[in-house]
Structure 1
Amino acid sequence: MTRRLLLSYLGLAILVLAGLEIPLGWIYARGEISRASQSVERDASMLAEVTEENIEKGNLDALPDVVGDYATRTGGHVVVTDRRGLVLADSNPSGRTHIDISAQPDIARALRNRPTVATGDDVLSATMPGHSGTTIRGTLRLTYPMAEVNARVHRIWGALALAGACILAAVALAAFTLARWITRPLRTLEAATAQLADGRLTDPPDATTGPPELRSLAASFTHTASRLQQLLKAQHAFASEASHQLKTPLTALRLRLENFEPHLDPRAHGSLEEAVGEVERLSRMVQGLLALARLENSATTPEPVELDAVIADRVAMWESLAAEQHVVLAVTGRPAGRVWAIPGALEQVMDNLVANALRVSPPGATITLHRTPGAELHVIDQGPGMTETDRARAFDRFWRASDSHHDGTGLGLPIVRHLVHASGGEITLHPAPGSGLDAAVLLRPVTGGRSRGGTGAPRSTPVTAVGYRHLAEVSVTPHRASAFGLRTGRRR
């Protein structure tokens, strides 16, 4: 913005200077030429009177001295003729005399008692008749080179250009100072906005300089950002405290329920197991909500991650549990290379998607992890699949399919979507060929060997390592998945 303001000020200054200096220079040039023409005409008239008097008295020998003295003083060229057009004197030492030039237009007009004044590109010319009354005794031609006149015109143009340059320099200095003063609050506001987008405002915008409107805007932004930080801090503190305060009573409640088992009638054991299961689901739900709150209220920057290495690591982690359920994990497609992702996010995404696939996969089925060009990963199962309506609502919090019979919380896929979006990608659900579901995760590939924060990196998004610690408590891992029993129910 500083550059645009500076260019606008300079453009306006150039327009004003051009509107003033160009007409001024043109008027001065025309005036110089007019003054030179009048001077030549006046000198030619005076010399014509002197030479006419000498011709009348027959004093022809004095003519060369008269014209030579004038030419020496002024630099002009003087030619004198008699009434027949024969050259009597020429100020040019190499000029010829006694030649007939009466046929030349200006001499012919002067012999008819008609003076001629002409302005050319190279010379000014004035031809005057030497007469007494109506008697023509000769003519005089005075030519003056335009070099000196042009030099004066060029000097004035140069002076005007120099003055304009000095004025532009002064205007540029003043405009730059003014533009910096105007835009300083905007620069600090931009930096503060970037900091706030990254999750923390450490340097509030300057509200002490600049125009009153920008100072007011900076002050309003600072107040709004401070209020927002206070709200986020309070929410973060609530999540941290609630995580501890809710975990203890829920654990105690589960233990108390389990302690009832020896004292209950065997017919009540089923209800007791259901109650314990509900307590466990409530515990996971609370921790899932706390994890989402932390994910949404913090920020970090995506980094280059080897997608193929993550896939190989997670497949190795899940193979044993899949084998227990007689399910095969298969990796297909070409290597995807590096992608942009929040550190640790891809592991959580794959754990949740593979766990969901295992829940619905019958014995003997295959879960395919297929990689396609463009850093796209597909987790394809051979379960019953989902209807189009269910796929549209699958990412809603707490939503579970109507025919679901497992103890999920309905937070797994919302957490997955949040992690994928935080990494700059997209996740969609599609029907798999035949039956089952295809969970497609599209990520941004790292191109050109860019490093973290380089060109092409996604912007910072609301996820931090703080959220991952709590996310791990509710994210599905092979050990937890085995404890929850993945053979029954639908997706979380």
Structure 2
Amino acid sequence: MSRRITWTLLVLTTVLLVLAVVPLAASLTARERVAFRDSQRAATRVIAAAAEEHLSDHRPATTMRREMDAAARAGDCVAVYDASARLVASTECAAAQGEEARELVEDVLDGHEPEPPEREGRLLAAEPAGEVRQPAGVVVLARSATPLDARIAAIWGWSAAIGAAGLAASVLLSVRLARWVSRPLSTLDAAARRLGEGALDERAVVGEGPPEVRRLAATFNAMAARTEALVHGHRAVIADVSHQLRTPLAALRLRLDVLAAGAEDDTATELAAAQGEIARLSRLVDGLLAVARAEQTTPRPTAVRVDEVVAERVAAWSPVAEERHVRLTGAAGPALSASLGGGHLEQILDNLIANALEAVPDGGSVTVDHRVLGASALVRVRDDGPGMDAEAKGVAFRRFGNPRARGTGLGLAIVHRLVTVNGGTARLEDTPGGGLTVVLELPLRQDGGPGRAGRR
């Protein structure tokens, strides 16, 4: 938009300057030519009056010679012709003589008023000596056009300078105007982008730009404040409810454990079922708390060694996998660093491995591998469990999106949130031969630092 405003103003200013300066310069040029011609003709008439006294009244040529000498000192060339077009007198300069001068003399003797020609950089002027219809002779005066050309060049030079100065001023003003309008809009756009990325406390600058842009910024700030209040209120409700539910659930579970210790067989069976439901509710509450924490996360990227975290989490979950008779392996991969928030990759892998171990039957396998893919670190968690159909995959990353999930239905939602908030992507694919593969693309650390931050 800034360029568009600048170019529009420049084109408009250029057109206005051309329409104003060019006609003015042309008018001044024409006026200079007329003034030059009038001055030349006036000088010629003075000599013609003195020549008439000599040619018609037969007086001495003293006055005529004096006027011709004055003209010669001024740089003009003069030639006097009689009624027969014969040269009577002239200055040393021969520019007022020649074929063109003789044609001009004949035209004047015939009573015409010809257009004075230009010869070798000099303008010719011819005036009759005496009456116009029956002149006693003709005076031809040749004057150099250099002063006229110099004045005309000065006129066009000053016109060009004025136009250039006006254009330069227009450039400065248009750039300042464009920046005055576009800078607040760019700031507002950046604020909207950061707000969309999760920085709910982002606000736009209100005191810059035109009144319309200021009102837009104020409206944006009001919207951002309301959005922040709604989102924080929603997160606070989830966190508070989850936190408040943990205490009564723990107490209820403890009481059921006490009752189950002294109950009979049928009662013990019912109590065991109740304990299972309580355990499921506890996991659900823990999952809600994890989701609330993940949604409140605004990570500061650090260098995380993907290969080390993968090996560490595989080793940590290996006892659980052995207990469930599932083979958990971490495929060897290159040493690489990703740009992630501290502890996020560990939490992502914990949720994915836990879901895979939950889904895979006895004797199954879960594999975690990693490699470089372009500008991303590709991490995959593959299992040979029952997998998911297309409908389940479409809602798997939503909270409680998969009604057939064995767990709380929150693990993949937490994974998706943590991956996307760090600038990565997550998707689900079918494992060849059956099963589910979770594919993560995480941003590589550009500085290539091998150090790892944020390990738990």
The offset of 1:170, in angstroms, is 6.0
- CA distance in 1: counterparts of 2:330 and 2:227, whole angstroms: 47
Check conservation: 2:338, 2:444, Cα contact below 8 A: yes
Say whether residues 1:383 and 2:381 are aligned partners: no
**What secondary structure does 1:116 align onto?**
coil
Alignment-derived partner of residue 218 in structure 2: 219
The 1-side partners of 2:182 and 2:421 are apart by: 32
> How many angstroms does 1:396 deviate by?
3.5
1:30 is the counterpart of 2:30 = yes
| Structure 1 partner of 2:291 | 292
Task: Give the deviation of 1:419 after TM superposition.
Answer: 1.9
- 1:102 to 1:150, Cα distance in 2 relative to 1, 3 A: closer
**Superposed displacement of residue 69, structure 1:** 0.4
**Cα gap change, 1:437 to 1:234, in 2 (>3 Å):** closer
Q: How many residues align?
A: 445
Provide the aligned C-alpha RMSD in A.
3.8
Residue identity matched to 1:17: L
Pick closer, same or farther for the CA change 1:277–1:145 going to 2, 3 Å: farther
- 2:124 pairs with 1:125: yes
Describe the superposition over 1:215-272 as per-residue Cα deviations: whole angstroms up to 9, x where unpaired: 4333323332232333334334434433432221111111111111222113333332
CA shift digits 1:321-347 (9 cap, x unpaired): 445535151415x63834443443322
Q: Mind listing any 5+ residue stretches in structure 1 that lack a counterpart?
A: 452-464, 473-492
Query: What are the Cα deviations for residues 419-447 of structure 1, in whole angstroms up to 9, with x where unaligned?
Result: 22222232222222222222222334455
Q: What TM-score comes out, normalization by structure 1 length?
A: 0.75
CA contact (8 A) 1:84 1:102 kept: no
Aligned to 1:373: 373
State the 1:153 CA deviation: 2.7
Sequence identity (%): 33
The aligned residue for residue 279 of structure 1 is 278
Tell me how far apart the structure 2 counterparts of residues 180 and 368 of structure 1 sit (CA, whole Å): 52
Task: Map 1:58-457 onto structure 2 (within 5 A).
Answer: 59-60=60-61, 63-73=64-74, 75-83=75-83, 85=85, 87-91=87-91, 93=92, 95=94, 101=99, 105-110=103-108, 112-118=110-116, 120=118, 122-130=121-129, 132=131, 135=134, 137-164=136-163, 186=185, 189-190=188-189, 192-193=191-192, 196-197=195-196, 198-201=198-201, 205-206=205-206, 211-300=210-299, 302-303=301-302, 305-323=304-322, 325=325, 327-331=327-331, 335=334, 337-359=336-358, 360=360, 362-363=362-363, 365=365, 367-369=367-369, 371=371, 373-374=373-374, 375=376, 376-400=378-402, 402=404, 406=406, 408-446=407-445, 449=447
Query: What letter matches 2:69 in structure 1?
Result: G
**Shift in Å at residue 137 of structure 1?**
4.6
Q: Aligned partners of 1:102, 1:37: CA distance in 2, in Å?
A: 18
Cα gap change, 1:370 to 1:102, in 2 (>3 Å):
closer
Give the Cα separation in 1 of the matches to 2:305 and 2:397. Answer: 26
Distance 1:171 1:393 in 2: 57
CA drift at 1:191: 6.1
1:50 aligns with 50
Q: Bigger relative contact order, structure 1 or 2, given CA contacts below 8 A and separation 6+?
A: 1
For 1:19 and 1:290, the matched residues in 2 are separated by 72
Mapped contact 1:326–1:365 kept (Cα < 8 A): yes
Residue 28 to residue 365, structure 1, CA distance change in 2 (3 Å): same
Is the 1:349–1:419 contact (alpha carbons within 8 Å) kept by the matching residues of 2?
Answer: yes
Amino acid at match of 2:432: P
Partner SS state of residue 435, structure 1: coil
Secondary structure of the corresponding residue to residue 289 of structure 1: helix
Alpha-carbon distance between aligned partners in 1 of 2:316 and 2:4, rounded to the nearest angstrom: 57
Distance 1:38 1:179, change over 3 A: same
Further displaced range: 220-229 or 319-328: 319-328
Structure 1 residues 343, 84: closer, same or farther in 2, change over 3 A?
farther
Aligned to 1:117, what secondary structure does the other structure show?
A: coil
Letter in 1 for 2:327: V
Q: Deviations over 1:182-239 (max 9, x none)?
A: 56764664565466455243765325x6544334333323332232333334334434
- Give the letter for the 2:384 counterpart: Q
Gaps of 5+ in 2: none
Relative to structure 1, the CA distance from residue 66 to residue 318 in structure 2 (aligned partners, 3 Å threshold; closer, same or farther) is: same
User: What secondary structure is seen at the aligned counterpart in 1 of 2:331?
Assistant: strand
Cα drift, residue 50 of structure 1: 2.5
Check 1:134–1:155 CA distance in 2 against 1; reply closer, same or farther (3 A cut).
closer
1:280/1:76 Cα in 2 relative to 1: closer, same or farther (>3 Å)?
farther
C-alpha contact 1:114 1:128 (8 A) present in aligned 2: no
Q: Is the 8 A contact 2:78 2:93 kept in 1?
A: no
